[in-house]
A and B are shown apart, each in its own frame.
Chain A
Amino acid sequence: MAAIRLHGTPYSTAVARVLTTLYEKELEFEFVEIDMKAGEHKKESFLSINPFGQIPGFEDGDLKLFESRAITKYIAQEYADKGTQFKCGDSKTAAIIGVWMEVEAHQFDPVASKLTWELALKPRYGLATDTAIVEENEAKLAKVLDVYESRLAQSKYLGCGCFTLADLHHLPCIHYLLGTQAKKLFDSRPHVSAWVDAITARPAWSKVLALQKQQG
């Protein structure tokens, strides 16, 4: 039995964030499917891994973790010598990578998640899109992507010259948004567009998409 176990569903953006990291690091793991419809994520056995009753839940031997961005950091640290290195340069660069990881978490994700829900997920569940929310959040995302455009004109990836968790954390929401009208916000900004092309072309991300298709 693999020491690493990831609990969740592959089409959850937070779970996909961890899956991508595991593939990038070329690690063996067991994927434990959680039946969300049956409320399995609110049951005691899952709450002992994530008391917030949200996916993903993560185990590595006796260690239990929740919050996808804490899990990816743990994986990157614990398995530093395996697979993709996620760093280039010294501690000063590491600090700047840290800044852009927070930018994803607090500037990009709150807005991108709302748009993902309205434009990509609600239609799948037969729910009506709220056009006022879409308009408001497209305007917010445009402002965030303007900052990204300036940044990516100076730096090949967000944190530094190579692909790191700061870029990876964006993949799940970006993937959903590329399938919606919000795609234009990425396409119309040349440096952002090139960056999106580069990060979505990574083999590890393709493996996540394959898993999503399999269990979807």
Chain B
Amino acid sequence: MNENLFTPFTTPTLLELPVVVPIILFPTLLLPTSKYLINNRLITIQQKLVQLILKQMMVIHNTKGQTWSLMLMSLIIFIASTNFLGLLPYSFTATTQLSMNLAMAIPLWAGTVITGLRFKTKSSLAHFLPQGTPTPLIPALVIIETISLFIQPMALAVRLTANITAGHLLMHLIGSATLALLTISLLATSLTLVLLVMLTILEMAVALIQAYVFTLLVSLYLHDNT
């Protein structure tokens, strides 16, 4: 029981070859592109969704911030599609690995901070001290603000990892509990089954929301710094 609880999170291997990279690249197969203005039904649906998300996310930024639209749109589509594919049975979700989330979070956060320091040095350094603090508190507050700045990428990565991993684990546990209760008591089985169905719906929402939150926070850090 203990060993097979975490085997969905191990590196998938095919004949002892790690097959992680094709699995990470698999969502690209599901997102077709087109060079025409008017497309078939599937591509039009997808393009309309992307435009909806684009308008929602990038309207708060100024011109300089909107140069990041391609990056942020790719980010949210990648995270959302990877999370959704992880809800299929037996699949491996790349966003459960902390290494990958850190690799996404740290460069993006560092990019926003360095942009802010390069172009608006005074104003981005001024973020370290909130307005109207009493004078004796200033040293302590600067230290606290610095720590809170450096914790941002860690929080981004760990939030995504923990949410998706916890969701998958919970579904696994409640699923095996339902199976085990089948022979003991039918009422308990049906109750756990209802719980499982609701959890699956929650997981679908979480998949989307986590992608949204990740991208939103990166865009907020960007907004502060442009």
Q: Do A and B come from one complex?
A: no
B interface residues, Cβ below 8 angstroms from A: none
Interface residues of A (CB under 8 A from B): none
